[in-house]
Amino acid sequence: MRLLVTRPQPQADTWVTHLLGAGVDACALPLIGIGPPAHPEAVHAVWQALPAHRLLMFVSPAAVEWFFHQRPEGARWPAHCLAATPGPGTAQALLQAGRPLGLCDAHLRAPPADAGQFDSEHLWPVLAHEDWAGQRVAVVGGGDSQAVKGRTWLTERLQERGALVAPLLAYERGPGAWTPAEAERARAALAQPASHQWLFSSSQAIDHLLTHHLPAWSLSVPDWGAHRALVTHPKIAERARHAGFGVVQEIRPTLDAVVQARRPSA
């Protein structure tokens, strides 16, 4: 059974490489496209004001990539500024990007490795003991040209503790566009659901699949009931079931969890 990795690029190719190395038949079928923000000056301003911040919260590896990609020359990570992530993938990307600029492991705040889920709810206990009154916090993420999407719950918790929280649009995301080869992968998956499985790490990816990618290539699905999905969060599972996927299996958002789920004994 071939696994369709729907993360945005270049994350999709990175996951596929690791999964193939672990013996999982996988291929990339991105459902979210990522690009630079229309107004990068906001990112530059946060970099310049980084010494005045207590925390930057990065919502995804893409947030890390685009924030550091737009770093003004000479800017470094202040010793007192914390960096938070919802899970290990984003944490790894953050340390790789930030270490040469002064960010170290002691700055990092993330859910523990054995957390039941990697999300804002499991990150908050790690942050809750800090004194946030009057502290500046930036939530670095992506969205459309108008606003950053997501992490509202965490923002509200920080604001309740007196933090001055501002969203930062480090990149813009949309459905992107499939190449002809990717469209053929989708066509094969739709025609042979028993030999394919979808890996969803975002509810938005499911929405893009149904409302953009399939119509763009004149592809239709009479019944999603024969299709299988691995999902990395309960909210994504809810969206997949609502879309009609017949088999929806929840897993943790790690490569090891994907490999374990694909083992015959899993």
Q: Could you list the pLDDT tens digit for every one of the 266 residues in the chain?
A: 999 999 999 899 999 999 999 999 999 999 999 999 988 999 999 999 999 999 999 999 999 999 999 999 999 999 999 999 999 989 999 999 999 999 999 999 999 988 878 889 999 999 999 999 999 999 999 987 555 655 789 999 999 999 999 999 999 989 999 999 999 999 999 999 999 999 999 999 999 999 999 999 999 887 899 999 999 999 999 999 999 999 999 999 889 999 999 987 54
The alpha carbon of 235 is separated from its chain's Cα centroid by a whole number of angstroms, namely 14
Q: What are phi and psi of 78, to 5 degrees?
A: -70, 150
Q: How far is residue 96's CA from residue 94's CA, in Å, rounded to a whole number?
A: 5
117 neighbors 235 (Cβ within 8 angstroms): no
| Span 2-32+176-262 CATH architecture | 3-Layer(aba) Sandwich (3.40)
In sequence order, the β-bridge partners of residue 200 are 231
- The token pair that represents 57 in the structure block: 């919260």
Beta strand pairing status for 82-84 and 26-28? unpaired
Cβ atoms within 10 Å of 162's Cβ, excluding its own:
11
Question: Where in the chain do CATH 3.40.50.10090 domains reside?
Answer: 2-32+176-262, 35-174
Exposure string (b/e) for 227-240, b if CB count within 10 Å is 16 or more?
Answer: bbbbbbbeebbebb
What predicted TM-score, i.e. pTM, was given to this entire model?
0.78
CATH code matching the domain that covers 35-174, chosen among 3.40.50.10090, 3.30.420.40, 3.50.50.60, 3.40.718.10:
3.40.50.10090
Helix (H), strand (E) at residue 55: strand 53-58
